[in-house]
Amino acid sequence: MVNFADLRRELRPTLALAFPIIVGQVSQMLIGLTDSAFIGRVGKVELAAAAFTHGLFGIFYIVGIGLLIGAGVFTARDHGAGDEAGCAAWLRHGRALGLAVGLGALGLMVLLSTQFHRFGQPPEVVAIVWPFFLLIAASVVPVLVFQVQRQFAESLGRPWVPMAIILADVGLNVLFNWMLVFGHLGFPPLGLVGSGWATLIARLAAVAAIAVWLRRSRHFAVVRAAPWTGWERARFVQLLKLGGPAGGMLLFEAGAFASAALMMGWIGTVPLAAHQVALGCAALTFMVPLGLSIAVSLRISRAQGEGRTAALRPIGFGALAAGLVFMTGCALLFAFAGRWITAGFTPAADVAGLAAQLLVVAAFFQLFDGGQVISVGALRGLHDVRVPTAITFVAYWVVSLPLGYWLAFHTTLGPLGVWTGLAAGLGCAALLLGWRFHRLTAAAPPNVN
C-alpha cells in the first residue's frame, strides 16, 4: 500500500516538473492542430491529405522519441548522483544520436513517398499529398534534435525555457500558416504546401533557439565546464539498449493509430478527414498524461540515483491518480460537447458530425490512454522496457487492430468500429502496464536494469 502522506508529498514536485512539460507538449500538438485548422478551410481533400501525412510522420516521430528517451533518463540518474560530467556526456551523445536518427527517418520517409499508390488511399488524396509530405518529413530532423536538448534541460529541473520556446514556435507556425496558406503580406497562396513550409520553418527556429540557450545559460555552466572525454561506444550502447525497446513500444502504438488512419482511408475521404479532426482532439488531451509520464520517468530515475527507492511507488501512483482525474474530465467534455468542438475545425458538416461521433468513443478510452502512458513512464524510469514492449505489442496488434478491422468491415459500425478497437487495445495496455509497475515496486526494489 502507498501511504497517502507520501503520495501527496511526492506528487507536488512531480506536478511542478510536469506542468511546463505538459504546456510544451500541448504546444507541440497545437502546431499540428493549427495546421489542421488552416488546411480544413482549404478543403476536405486537403485535410484528408494532412491526416494521411501526419499518420505516417507520427510513426517515425514517435519511434525517434523512443530511441532518444535514454538521454533524459540517464542524465536525470547521473544528476541525482552528482555526476555533472556524465550529464554533459549524455547531452553530446544524445545530440549525435538524435541527428543520426533524424536523418535516417528522413531517408526512409523519402523512399516511402515513392510508394503512396500502394496504400489504398483515395486517388484525390494521393494526387496532392507528395510535396506536403516531403516538407513535413524534412522537419523530423530538427524536431528530434530539439527533443534531445529539451529532455536534457528537463532532467536537470529546467523545463520552463523549453516550454517558452515551444509556445513561441506555435505562434510562429500560426503566422506562417496565415501568410503561406492563404497568401498574406505579399506571399502567394500556397494552400496545403504552404502549411508544410510553415511547420518546417517553425521547427528549425525552435531547435536553433534551444541550442543557443543551452550554450549561453548560466544554469548549465557546470555541465559545460565538465571535461570532454571523447565519444564513448558504451554510452551509445546504453542509449540504444534502453531506447531500442522503448522505440519498439512506441512503434507498436503509433503503428496501430497509423493503421487506423489507413483503414479510415479505405472507407472513404470523409472518414479519413473526420479521423484527423477527432484524433487531433484526443491527442491534445493526451499531452497532459504524456507530460506526467515524462516527469515521472525523470523523477523515478533521479530517485534511484539518489538511493531513494522507497519513493518510487508514491511518485508513480501519485502521477497515475492525477492523470486519471484529468482524463475523466476530458472524457465528459468529449461526450457532451463533441459537436461544438469538431465544428471549430472544419465547415464540412459531414466531417464534423462523424468526428463528433468518434469523440464519444474517445471519451471511453481517455482513462485507458492516460493510465497506460503514465505507467510506461514509470517503468521507463526503472529502466524496465522489454516486458512493456511485449505488452504493447499484444495490446495493439493482437487485440486492437484485428478487433477494429472486424468491427469496421464486418459489422455496421464502420468508422466507429476502428475506434472501438483502439479503445479495447488501450484498456488492455493500461491494465497490464499498471500491474507491472505495482509488482516491480511492491518491495521498493533497486534498479531493475
In total, how many domains does the chain have? 1
Q: 306 lies in a domain?
A: yes
Q: What is d(CA 116, CA 266) in angstroms, rounded to the nearest whole number? A: 13
Query: Kind and range of the H or E element at 17?
Result: helix 4-40
pLDDT > 60? residue 449: no
Range of the domain at 354: 4-441
For residue 447, what pLDDT is reported? 45
Q: 16 lies in a domain?
A: yes
Q: How many residues belong to the chain? A: 449
Q: 205 lies in a domain?
A: yes
Residues 54-72, mean pLDDT to the nearest whole number: 83
For residue 446, what pLDDT is reported? 43
Q: What's phi and psi for 229, nearest 5 deg?
A: -105, 10
Q: 447 lies in a domain?
A: no
Task: Quick: pLDDT tens for 327-384.
Answer: 999 889 888 887 888 877 777 788 888 888 888 888 887 788 889 989 998 998 888 8
Neighbours of 244 (CB within 10 A): 16
Are 377 and 293 within 8 A, CB to CB? yes
Q: Spell 256-292 as b/e; 16+ CB within 10 A means b.
A: bbbbbbbbbbbbebbbbbbbbbbbbbbbbbbbbbbbb
Q: What percent of the chain has pLDDT over 90?
A: 27
Are 156 and 96 within 8 A, CB to CB? no
pLDDT > 80? residue 389: yes
Q: 446 lies in a domain?
A: no
Q: Which residue is it, cell 507536488?
A: 12
Task: Quick: pLDDT tens for 194-206.
Answer: 988 999 999 999 9
For residue 1, what pLDDT is reported? 61
Q: 448 lies in a domain?
A: no
Q: 397 lies in a domain?
A: yes
Q: What is d(CA 137, CA 140) in angstroms, rounded to the nearest whole number? A: 6
Residues 411-433, mean pLDDT to the nearest whole number: 91
Task: Quick: pLDDT tens for 288-298.
Answer: 888 898 889 88
| H helical segments located in 230-348 | 233-267, 269-306, 312-343
Closest CA to 294 of 317, 257, 319: 319
pLDDT > 60? residue 127: yes
Are 22 and 288 within 8 A, CB to CB? yes
For residue 445, what pLDDT is reported? 47
pTM for the model: 0.75
DSSP structure string for 324-362: HHHHHHHHHHHHHHHHHHHHTT-S-HHHHHHHHHHHHHH
> How far from 169 is each of 75, 151, 176, 379, CA to CA, in Å?
26, 17, 11, 31
Closest CA to 70 of 245, 251, 307, 288: 245
Q: 390 lies in a domain?
A: yes
